[in-house]
Amino acid sequence: MFIITFSKKIVTLHRRIYFFYFFPLILLSQEPSIAILSKIYNNSTFLLQKGVKVYTCKVYGVVTLEDLFFRAKADNQCQKEIINLYEKRVNLKYFAFFRLKEEQSYHINDKNGRCIIYSKGETTYSEELLKKGLALIALHFKDEVFDYVFTQAQENAKIEKKGLWGTKIPIVCKSYYYNRL
């Protein structure tokens, strides 16, 4: 009888230790939450609403053509190449408007001040931008979950010469890629 009671106390003690050990980790891990996409500004910036909180969010892990455009000096060759691409392929300029819908709910994760938007099941919007050649992987990007997927998407777009990879943009905008906003 004593042994059974003693072992139950140990098991109960272990459960409490595990709870206090793992509970903070559970609080720190971020499950995707639901947010309403209120407004699409361009391919990289959105207005989101989570409950009563409304905030502007940029896509996670990538530098979009819009980012490069705004980093470049006015009337620069980089800006001209981006304008040229968007004039030839208007659907790329408005990719976000075709892929995402305003006033629709999406699973969102906030990470490092940026948003991971799950646009198609487990596929992120950032990954879709990379596949279309509308973005580059952000400089010094390190993420265990997305590193491989983003690299594969970018390499496939490069091989197929999609979006920016079929133009001079990687060459003429190189210095602006290294500048931070």
Q: Where are the alpha helices (DSSP H) in the chain?
A: 2-28, 65-71, 77-88, 90-93, 95-99, 125-132, 147-159, 169-172, 174-178
Beta bridge partners of 135: 64
Do 150 and 61 lie in one domain? The reply is yes
pLDDT mean over 48-73: 92
Domain that holds residue 21: 1-28
What pLDDT score was predicted for residue 102? 95
Do 61 and 87 lie in one domain? The reply is yes
Do 24 and 112 lie in one domain? The reply is no
More confident residue, 127 or 112: 127
Does residue 138 register a pLDDT over 60?
Answer: yes
What pLDDT score was predicted for residue 173? 87
What pLDDT score was predicted for residue 63? 94
Do 165 and 134 lie in one domain? The reply is yes
- pTM (2 decimals)? 0.79
Phi-psi region of 112 (alpha: psi -120 to 50; beta: other; left: phi over 0): left
